[in-house]
Amino acid sequence: MTKRSRAIRVGAALAVLSLVGAACGGDDNASEEVTEESVTEETTATETESTCGQAVSDTVDGDLEGFSGSTPFGKGGADAAFIERLCSVDPALIDVSYAAETYDSVVIIALAAEKAQSDGIEYASEINGITRDGEKCTDFTTCLEIIKAGGDPDYDGISGPLTFAGNGEPLEASYGFLTMASNNRIDPTLTTFIDVKGPDELDVPQVKVQGSREGDGVLTLGTILPQTGSLAFLGPPMFAAFDLAVQDINAAGGVLGQPIAAIKGDSGDTTTDTASKTVDRLLAENADAIIGAASSGVSLTVIDKVAAAGVVLFSPANTSPALSDYDDKGLYFRSAPPDIYQGDVLGQKVLQDGAQTVAILALNDAYGTGLADAAEKTITAGGGEVVVKTIYDPTAASFDTEVDAVVAADPDAIILIGFDESSKILKSMVEKGIGPKVKKVYGCDGNIGNALGEVFETLG
């Protein structure tokens, strides 16, 4: 039996989170305030066995012990029954990152089409309303019954309360704060959840849908999710959730009396034009909506083309604030919260843990700079000081210079905002005596997870 095929406990549901590099994006809008409204609460592990494989480690005294980070994660995404159902679709699954958000994205589109009684462009005007100001429901079948009775559903899905603003993004968000144990893997018993809700000014009016596109009576959903490229590790849970949602909806009778037609496609990453080619193919095959991309940067490369065709682009993982007010003709939606929320959550956590001086290392892209700016604002507003803020090139061969600057500043805590290159930075930090066992080191959804531990252990 290989390590990846060993049975795990469902109580380790949070531990199957892997590197979540999909969260690309951010700009100066990340300085907006976000109010935390709920109390952090500890998760509880269960003892139910799962046959779904997951990354494990024989390490007993790992250098990543104590590394902690935030990631968008609704409590429903850690539900044992949901994970088991995902594993029934993909028995080799070792990750559940953004699976709940993907599942909910499909359900919301299907309900909007039922509400509009059309798979044409007009259903886009119903999407935001499906998530708010109606009769609460938590699954497709129950929500559909409300619609058929002439009512207005308020879908609160697996990823948690959604409540979209008029620009098609959640006003509420749930974050999991994950912490690594001595085996260089996430310890689910240390995980806490933090719920946040944006201020009233973020509840912007409905963006008018522009364009025209007739439906054909069959809701056709395509995907631009990562099968290849630097985010390929993120693809399996998202594809599994997409397939599961389509299966559930079709088992309930489909949409508009017809089964959903599903066309899966690859997004690649920002170094390729894979997403653009996939979008061309999906539009040629009459897709009514496209689920994806995982990366905000990828979405920004295709959003104009998709919107011009009168088709909905619905991402389960984009977090860039740059997309909050993008001119998308009212056709772009996301079930993941923008990084103005995560930056605030991350900054608050650092302050709550007692740090007064903080160093921030962030990769040089919209995600890295936007999240760094948001975290810095919260830290300084709370009386802390950012003594080092370095924006680095993620393709660099070495990060010793950046780490040396942190060593010289000797901060109370370090925030590392990056993707898979984070393992190299952490290795340098450990070698220079400021690793997670010595300093409080915080990550984010781009790097907190078991894949980080796996890669870290391969480094010399």
Find the CATH number of the domain harbouring 389: 3.40.50.2300
Could you tell me if residue 393 is inside a domain? yes
Interval 70-95 mean pLDDT: 86
Query: What pLDDT is stored for residue 117 in this prediction?
Result: 98
pLDDT at 54: 55
Query: Is the pLDDT reported for residue 371 higher than 60?
Result: yes
**3-state DSSP assignment of residue 427:** helix
Residue 254 near residue 248, CB atoms below 8 Å: no
* 304 pLDDT higher than 60: yes
Q: What number of other Cβ atoms are within 10 A of residue 415's Cβ?
A: 29
Task: Give the chain's radius of gyration (CA, Å).
Answer: 21
Is residue 263 in some structural domain? no
DSSP 132-154: SSSEEE-SHHHHHHHHHTT--EE
How confident is the model over 271-276, as a mean pLDDT? 95
**92-96, 325-329, 348-352: which has the minimum mean pLDDT?**
92-96
Q: Is residue 355 part of a domain?
A: yes
Q: How far is CA 433 from the centre of its chain?
A: 32
DSSP 8-state secondary structure symbol assigned to residue 446: T
pLDDT at 74 over 90: no
Instruction: Using DSSP bridges, classify how beta strands 8-9 and 49-50 pair: parallel, antiparallel or unpaired.
Output: antiparallel
Which residue range is the domain that position 397 belongs to? Answer: 342-456
Rounded Cα gap, residues 388 and 357, in angstroms: 9
Looking at every residue in the chain, the average pLDDT score rounds to: 87
Confidence (pLDDT) at 52? 59
What confidence tens digit (pLDDT) does each residue in 8-61 have?
223 333 333 333 333 333 333 333 444 433 333 333 333 334 445 455 677 888
Phi-psi region of 149 (alpha: psi -120 to 50; beta: other; left: phi over 0): alpha
Q: Does pLDDT of 420 surpass 90?
A: no
> Containing H/E element for 405?
helix 400-409
pLDDT tens across 107-159, in order? 999 999 999 999 999 999 999 999 999 999 999 999 999 999 999 999 999 98
Amino acid at 239: F
The per-residue pLDDT for 115 is 98
pLDDT at residue 301 in the model: 96
Q: What is the pLDDT of residue 29?
A: 36
Residue 439: inside a domain, yes or no? yes
Tell me whether residue 379 is in a domain.
yes
The answer on pLDDT for 198 being more than 90 is no
For residue 432, give Cα distances in angstroms to 67, 407, 410. Answer: 16, 8, 12
Assess whether pLDDT exceeds 80 at residue 430: yes
Whether the Cβ atoms of residue 449 and residue 54 lie closer than 8 Å to each other: no
Q: Does 67 score more than 70 pLDDT?
A: yes
* Largest CA-CA distance found in the chain, in angstroms, rounded: 66
* Location of structure tokens 């399996």: 236
CA-wise closest residue to 180 among 380, 416, 365: 416
The tokens for 383 are 């009386």
Residues in the chain: 460
- Residue 351 included in any domain: yes
Q: What is the pTM of this model?
A: 0.82
Q: Which two tokens stand for residue 166?
A: 């008029």
Q: Tell me whether residue 182 is in a domain.
A: no
Question: 102 or 269, which is more confident?
Answer: 102
| Least confident window among 64-78, 169-183, 312-326, 400-414 | 64-78
H or E stretch including 89? helix 80-89
Instruction: Name residues whose C-beta falls within 8 Å of residue 33's C-beta, 6 or more positions apart in sequence.
Output: 199, 344
Rounded Cα distance between 236 and 245, Å, is 14
Q: What is the pLDDT of residue 4?
A: 30
pLDDT at 189: 84
In this prediction, what percent of the chain has a pLDDT beyond 70?
Answer: 88
Domain membership of residue 389 (yes or no) is yes
Percentage of the chain beyond pLDDT 90 is 66
- Residue 306's identity, in one-letter code, is V
Instruction: Name the band, by pLDDT with cuts 50, 70 and 90, for residue 73.
Output: confident
Q: How many domains is the chain built from?
A: 1
CA neighbor of 35 nearest in space, from 200, 204, 205, 168 = 200
